[in-house]
Amino acid sequence: MKENRNSPEDSLQQNVSTSENPPSGARRSFLGTLLALGSFFVVSLLSAPLIRFALFPLLRRTTELKGSPVGSVTEFASLTAPMARTIQIEQVDGWRKAVSEKTVYVTKDVQGKLCVLSSICPHLGCTVPWSAEKKAFACPCHGASFSADGQRIGGPSLRGMDALESAVEDGQLIVRFQYFRQLVASKEVIG
């Protein structure tokens, strides 16, 4: 019988060789998993603001307009011709809050009810003044003309002047100003 004696140098060499070469598959899979988790974390952090940026216009309107007072209903009781009034509208876009003035016309419709018209021409967006001599609204830019109640008389405009939403609250005429698409025959709200 032979005894299998290993010298101390041989056993030391075997121990060193096993500690230098641990199972490489386990280390590689751990590093791969760690890299995948880190990559997923970084991609999710970077994509969240991009997704929010892309979906923001769909989820929230940037400007919600409130009603603006035009004047007392008694001021318009004996109205015979359209009366121009300037209203202040407040628009909030992100951090910016802007207060602007818009001109509207208070007139009476065919039934004699108060009606508020936008002064913006539905053709190309010019400001349409009331002409007392012609007894009509006359656009100075392209010659469109409108009757006292905003109906189209002639010119390149495809529709009459845009009527704005209005209501009477506590004796005050309140109007909600809106912007409408130009160059189309139907009235489409755009803001």
Residue 37 has pLDDT above 90, yes or no: yes
Answer for the pair 8, 16: CB distance below 8 angstroms, yes or no. Answer: no
CATH 3.40.50.150 fits 68-176, yes or no: no
Give the residue with greater pLDDT, 79 vs 43: 43
Q: How confident is the model at residue 68 (pLDDT cuts 50, 70, 90)?
A: confident
Residue 189 has pLDDT above 60, yes or no: yes
What is the DSSP annotation of the chain? ----PPPHHHHHHHHHHHHHS--HHHHHHHHHHHHHHHHHHHHHHHHHHHHHHHHHHHH--S--PPPEEEEEGGGGTT--S-EEEEEEEEEEETTEEEEEEEEEEEEE-TTS-EEEEESB-TTT--B--EETTTTEEE-TTT--EE-TTS-EEESS-SS-PPEEEEEEETTEEEEE---B-SS-SS--B--
pLDDT tens per residue, range 120-146 = 888 888 889 988 888 888 888 888 888
pLDDT tens per residue, range 4-14 = 555 555 555 55
> Which sequence spans correspond to the domains of the chain?
8-59, 68-176
Predicted pLDDT of residue 97: 78
Verdict on whether the full-model pTM lies above 0.75: no
